[in-house]
Structure 1
């Protein structure tokens, strides 16, 4: 009998359990922290690692970390429910169906161009605002596009979420990773701009081509979808305008006014209610539809919280700094090429217990910079290695709440997602390593 692959909940609960076991094996320790004068952030002081008395977490503390993690992720949970509920309302008005059909008709005979546009748009969103969790609410659109275009839903996720993460990984202007890393490494934010843009273009072109090709080849049943698109009409047009305008306003608010999850949630709550009333669902009908949308998105929301629980267990056991110290220390006596490759691999591994890209920068850049100085390598390598590793690992790591929630929302098993994306992901890893090796000479 063929065993079923574990459910997403089972996978994350297993990670929580393994993290708890690790607190008994890995020595507890901490780096000292201080304020970085340039960025104003708290950073790790190189050479300050000290072991401390072992902290043993009780099994009760492991279980308590589960609700605590969900509470810590409550802002994202609310964001998923309110934005997702809003798009669910839009879908039930019929406007989404009409809009997607109109879009496909516009590009009829040139689906390839539509998918390229999709990848470009999301890569730009990733490069500028590191879009990830926001895509969770767009899953009804992704599912509809997959059906109408006869493309594997995994490919559509790859061209949206994957392109966004790629954009963040290779972006010269990602404020949550690249620019933050430049500041922490005390580098000019404009340094390496052209270099990054060249590899951004190369990586995006290869990724988009492979995702489009894989999406078509993985569709087993090819059915002809012939339809005459309905007239959009003023009601549907207004609903679509409000929905798409909300995404634009959200990006504007994030970049110009430093909006957080609560501001985004409030914006789409208003949009969702408005769209329901415009779509003639009525007050009660809109409320019932919104509530049904909540039900569809509870699992992705809980997945976010459980991913936080993994980090919480490691933090309580005070072994995160110990893991980082163990990964970085052996690199000091290696040749520069091997040390850079080792730094990249270490950053990939670190991102599993430290799923925050900005958190990983703050934690590891102050440690990687002295290592680069010791080896006579440009500090830019420390920034590039961290940026590439953390964002590309977000495509695979089960502790990345955004990715896990998105594949759950579109009904894709984690193992199926890994099988689909892994070879193409390795291509991106190869591009990253080539970029790092060339950077050794470029920034010498």
Structure 2
């Protein structure tokens, strides 16, 4: 029998089982936590780690974690369904295809400018609002774009999702990453603003250049269709205005109104229905298109929920804190440069069991900051090692439900994604490490 690479759901179920099995080999333990009034979050008290009664996960607990993880991520699942349904409606009106074809025709002689534009736009979205799950519904648009310009779909996803995640990783103003960590570390974000901006621009330019250069299909069978002038009708123009206006309203709501997933879901439900009616689908046609969109997105929603289940098992068995403690304590005896490298690697590994970037900031920054003080280096190193490593791991960690759902929606197998991405990922991880080592001297 021919062996095949495991399905994404099988991969995540395996991680859930491994998380449960780990509880039998790792002694449960916790750090004491206090409420940080400035961030409104509970943070770890350095030096307070202690073991507690072992809390091993039974088979019953592991099985129960599957539905509980999906329920825990219900707000994201609902967003995926309503956002995905809206984009499915928009696609059915024909406006999306017309818009993409018109855009490609305008850049027909300079496609690389179009791809750089896509990369930098999504990088901006990632840097400011940490966009990720919102891209799941855009998979049909990315597939259409890849087909029309003769590029590997993986390169287009890398330019969209990858740029957004790298933007979030290297950003000096990501409220869920660098800003949160700097607040916990009691740092003024302006102190490292210029330094981070330099490496943010370098990272995005390097990432986009790599995938624009190596993403073009080379096979003769993938000939690009002949491009013809495409004028967007008034009706389709209105639909596209509503669509991108909705994306702009979502960004505004997140930044200025503290919107959560429910507000975003409601917004795109209204956008989807409005676009269906403008596109002459009618009430019944819009409802049918929405239903079809739901069926397309359920799989992506389950993927996100299962990723939550992994963390849920680790949290319930109280083995996350022991893992962090085991990785951080040995760094105290290392020379400064080696300690910085070790912290960078530790933060990358920690992001597998702790896939939430904001959650990881709350868990690790209070421990990394005293370590930096002990070594006599700037607390900025604690923030940089966290934000670069955690953000970059979002591109390859199977416990990142958003990434897994996006590549699944685009029809990309996880092993094919990794086989395409690993070189560019290592380059950016290297850039992040170089930034950390330079920061040792920059922030003296």
Residue 196 (structure 2) aligns with: 196
CA positional deviation for 1:275 = 0.9
* 1:381 match: 381
Task: List per-residue Cα deviations over 1:243-279 (Å, max 9, x = no partner).
Answer: 1111011101110101110111111111111111111
Q: 1:89 & 1:276 partners in 2: Cα distance?
A: 6
Q: Contact between 2:150 and 2:217, CA under 8 Å: does it hold in 1?
A: no
Supply the RMSD in Å over aligned alpha carbons: 1.1
Paired residue for 2:48? 48
CA contact (8 A) 2:378 2:443 kept: yes
Structure 1, unaligned runs of 5 or more: none
Q: Which residue of 2 aligns with 1:409?
A: 409
SS of 2:23's equivalent in the other structure is helix
The DSSP-based 3-state class of the residue aligned with 1:35 is: strand
Distance in 1 between residues matched to 2:279 and 2:206, nearest whole Å:
41
Q: In structure 1, what is the equivalent of residue 303 of structure 2?
A: 303
Shift of 1:37: 4.2
> Secondary structure of the equivalent of 2:429?
helix
| 1:372 counterpart residue number | 372
In 1, Cα distance between the equivalents of 2:420 and 2:208?
Answer: 14
Partner of 2:351: 351
User: 1:172 is matched with which residue?
Assistant: 172
Residue 138 of structure 1: CA displacement?
1.1
Match status 1:240 vs 2:277: no
**What's the secondary structure of 1:200's corresponding residue?**
helix
Alpha-carbon separation, structure 2, partners of 1:232 and 1:217: 28
Which aligned pairs between 1:5-404 and structure 2 lie closer than 5 A? 5-217=5-217, 221-404=221-404
Is there any run of 5+ residues in structure 2 with no aligned partner, and where? none
Instruction: After TM superposition, give the deviation of residue 219 of structure 1 in Å.
Output: 5.6
- How far has the Cα of 1:40 moved from its partner? 3.4
Aligned residue pairs, count:
444
In the TM superposition, residue 2 of structure 1 has moved relative to its aligned partner by 4.0
Q: Secondary structure at the match of 1:25?
A: coil
Q: Judging changes above 3 Å, is the alpha-carbon distance between structure 1 residues 266 and 422 closer, same or farther for their aligned structure 2 residues?
A: same
What TM-score, normalized by structure 2, do the two folds share?
0.98
**Aligned-residue offset at 1:304:** 0.3
Query: Post-superposition shift, 1:206?
Result: 1.0
Structure 1 distance, partners of 2:327, 2:220, is: 43
**Residue 106 to residue 71, structure 1, CA distance change in 2 (3 Å):** same
Tell whether the 8 Å contact from 1:77 to 1:301 is kept in structure 2 after alignment: yes
Contact 2:105 2:227 (8 Å CA) reproduced: no
Cα distance in structure 2, aligned partners of 1:298 and 1:371:
44
Secondary structure at 2:34's aligned position in 1? strand
Alignment partners' CA distance in 2, 1:200 and 1:235 = 39
CA distance in 2, matches of 1:2, 1:154: 25
Contact 2:66 2:306 in 1 (8 A): yes
Distance 1:280 1:109, change over 3 A: same
Q: Secondary structure at the match of 1:156?
A: helix
CA distance in 1 between counterparts of 2:221 and 2:269 reads 38
